[in-house]
Amino acid sequence: MSAKAVKATKKKSLKEQEKIFEERWTNPMKTPYLEKIVLNIGVGAGGEELERAATVLQTISGKTAVKTLSKKNVKEFNLRIGRPIGTMVTVRNEEAEKLLKRLFVVNNDKMLRKSFDNYGNFGFGITEHITIPGIEYDNVIGIWGLDVVGRIVRPGMRVKYRRKGKAKVPKHHYVSRLEAQYFLKKKFGIDIVDKLDLDFI
């Protein structure tokens, strides 16, 4: 089979898979949605640097950032359990969707195919936070990079995390890698690619 024929076969099978997703989503309990996105900056230490990083996240999200603490003792990096090493902020619901649209612009509305797992999680990095629309450079704060992690779920996932009556969620109720890719493609107009070629204006 030629390379052209293989490519055509893959395209056809992908279309068939997307059709299956559309049929599945007619069931309200199977319709996926964006649960949250988490923005994270690892600083490695506390002090003024950590405060500046927290300010960056608050400016981007409009939410109050919290400090992340070390969970291990690492002598080489001068880390101790409970020591602040970074900052993060979580955004949910419609605010998460609006923010994610802004963040996707940085990568020209593209995402790497390898940036997904089989449980509805996806992530990507932003090298310079000032490339996000609406964010201006501040010479006091400087330029920061950050990680963006999102989670796509179906209704009913709460049973896994609630305090009382916890229950296991069957694997078929998680959003698969292909389904998560199609969800972002349909809802946010994202192109799934194998390599990012970015042209900043």
Q: Is 47 helix (H, G, I), strand (E, B) or coil?
A: coil
pLDDT tens across the length of the chain (201 residues): 445 443 545 565 878 999 999 999 999 999 999 999 999 999 877 788 899 999 999 999 999 999 988 777 776 666 678 788 889 999 999 999 999 999 999 999 999 999 999 999 999 999 999 999 999 999 989 999 999 999 999 999 989 888 888 999 999 999 999 999 999 999 999 999 998 876 544
Architecture of domain 29-192: 2-Layer Sandwich (3.30)
Name the nearest CA neighbour of 49 among 148, 146, 141, 137. 141
Enumerate the domain spans of the chain. 29-192
Name the nearest CA neighbour of 38 among 95, 85, 79. 95
The Cα angle at residue 28 between residues 27 and 33, in degrees rounded to 5: 120
Contacts of 195 (CB under 8 A, 6+ apart): 112
pTM for the structure as a whole: 0.85
